[in-house]
Amino acid sequence: MKSLGILSFLFKKEHQVEVLINEYLKTFTVTQEKFLEAFQACLKSPRGETIDFLISQTHKFESKADDIREEIKSLMYSKALIPDSRGDIMGLLESIDQIPHFFEHVLYMIQTQELHIPNFLIPDVKELIRISIECCELNVKQVTALMQQKDGIRALMKTIDTNESHCDHFERTMITKLFDSDLDPFLKLQLKELIVEIGNISDQADRVSRRINIISMKRRL
């Protein structure tokens, strides 16, 4: 009877971990939405109460995701999962957690430096953001497939890899346009830094994707 009690305890803990991971993914998705809303507002003006509020909302949900991740960590290290699974899951969540930090960095750069993105760059910037967010959405689908032990993770990885390559292309195109322009040299450097920081979003999503694929392959061994 004692062994059955231990098994019941472990199954309950694993279920709690799964519930928390789902909650983490939902919060991650809301953070993406708040970031996109704030960024679109920043394209019109980098300053103002509306911008400040939207950026604070992005930070709020990024912090909430951090709190959930710490709760997952605490639960997993209280005999919820075997050691190998603990390391894989925590490493994955820490990797995902880098993405909202890039969201914040992009918004803070625009806000604190009062950066106005010139009109000739806006279409490319919007496309870079769109593809980057799509990569993040595909990451969520990958994690869900991993948790549910479903196929399709590798196919999603290939799509993310293709998208990340498109983002690299947009980065190079924008930086070329930027330095071919008549903008102030210092502003060019500021905008280049912003473009690179936006590009970090898809780069990190690609790293997350590859980590998920590795975990998936390990489970099949």
pLDDT of residue 107: 94
- Yes or no: say if 14 and 80 are a contact pair by the CB < 8 Å rule: yes
Neighbours of 142 (CB within 10 A): 27
User: Mean pLDDT across the stretch 201-210?
Assistant: 97
Question: CA-CA-CA-CA torsion for 199, 202, 207, 212, nearest 10 degrees?
Answer: 170
pLDDT at 104 over 60: yes
pTM: 0.88
At 12-41, the pLDDT tens digits run 567 788 889 999 999 999 999 999 999 999
Q: Name residue, tokens 């993406």.
A: 32
User: What is 2-220's CATH number?
Assistant: 1.20.58.220
| pLDDT score for 179 | 96
- Is 105's pLDDT higher than 90? yes
Q: How far apart are CA 11 and CA 57, in angstroms?
A: 35
Checking if the pLDDT of 45 tops 90, the result is no
| Burial of 207 from C-beta contacts in 10 A (0-12 / 13-18 / 19+) | middle
